[in-house]
């Protein structure tokens, strides 16, 4: 159950990170980890990025890297921005409901 919940949350968080600035896969992993999202693994990020690109939520371009082969940079598409806005709204509603249950007042 936890892993299914994390998959949906991971997608929303990846979209939010890409919305901040164009970035590449390894940098996305670093940003997730730095913000406490330790559940994401490289093996789940790259397939997610491929799926998001297939679904036209993100777009990519190859750029030269100073430390090796070209890097694939991702940016949010218009459709991805809409998806992120829906995720943010849904997350706000869900997190408030869960907090109300897990942290009862009284």
Give the pLDDT of residue 106: 62
pTM of the predicted protein model: 0.89
Write the CB contacts of 23 (distance below 8 Å, at least 6 apart in sequence).
Answer: 17, 31, 73, 74
Mean of the per-residue pLDDT values for the chain?
91
Record the tokens describing residue 6, joined without a space. 């994390």
Determine what percent of the chain is predicted with pLDDT higher than 70.
97
Q: What is the pLDDT of residues 13-50, one digit of tens each?
A: 999 999 999 999 999 999 999 998 887 777 889 999 99
Domain boundaries, the chain: 2-102
CATH number for 2-102 (one of 1.10.10.10, 3.40.50.300, 3.90.550.10, 3.90.1150.10): it is 1.10.10.10
- Taking only Cα atoms into account, the Rg of the chain, rounded to an integer number of angstroms, comes to 15
């Amino acid at each position: 159950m936890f892993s299914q919940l994390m998959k949906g949350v991971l997608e929303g968080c990846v979209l939010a990170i890409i919305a901040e600035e164009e970035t590449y896969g390894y940098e996305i992993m670093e940003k997730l980890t730095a913000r406490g999202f330790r559940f994401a693994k490289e093996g789940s990020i790259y397939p997610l990025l491929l799926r998001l690109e297939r679904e036209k939520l993100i777009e990519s371009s190859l750029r030269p890297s100073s430390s090796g082969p070209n890097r694939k940079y991702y940016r949010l598409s218009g459709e991805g921005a809409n998806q992120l806005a829906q995720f943010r709204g849904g997350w706000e509603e869900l997190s408030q409901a869960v907090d109300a249950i897990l942290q009862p007042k009284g």
